Structure 1
Amino acid sequence: MNTQGKKVLSEIETAEYIGMSRSFLRQSRMEGNRASRTPAPPFVKIGRSVRYIKDDLDKWLDSLQKLEHLSQCGGTL
């Protein structure tokens, strides 16, 4: 799927872009940042559609903790 040049991505495109499943995106929208160890990416509602702004996704990815060793995340995956 080619997302180059697109500003707003669908759920399917977003899942592929960030390398996560659609179920992760759905669950994170429902729970917000409460239960998940990985914070939810920001999204917008346009009518009944959920969309993700590519610039926001890039910022969200940059904000995630970078690890050099698995022990930095508490030893669990």
Structure 2
Amino acid sequence: MPTTTNKRALSEIETAEYIGMSRSFLRQSRMEGNRTNRTPAPPFIKIGRTVRYLKDDLDNWLNNFCRLEHLGQNPNGGDHA
């Protein structure tokens, strides 16, 4: 089985494993788009009826999330007082 690290376009199953989220998250986020108070959807492409996720897009999507050192931090910047 080929590894996802060597592929540019990943299937839904490969993407779910790569980003550590469920396939249902991917499906729901594709249907709903980016809604307020929800985790934003990762970008995807369609080739005919097939959905694929570009690895570079997924890396950028993951990098957009704030890195926290503890749960008391505000993910939108700064610490809670």
Q: Which runs of 4+ in 1 moved over 6 A?
A: none
TM-score, normalisation: structure 2: 0.82
Secondary structure of the residue aligned to 1:71 is coil
Identity within the alignment, %: 74
Partner residue of 1:42? 43
In 1, the alpha carbon distance for the partners of 2:37 and 2:59 equals 19
Say which structure is richer in helix. Answer: 1
Change (3 A) 1:59 1:68: same
Gaps of 5+ in 2: 76-81
Give 1:35-74 correspondences, 5 Å limit.
35=36, 37-72=38-73
Partner residue of 1:27? 28
- Displacement of 1:54 in angstroms is 0.3
**Aligned alpha-carbon RMSD (Å):** 1.7
TM-score, normalisation: structure 1: 0.86
- Displacement of 1:69 in angstroms is 1.6
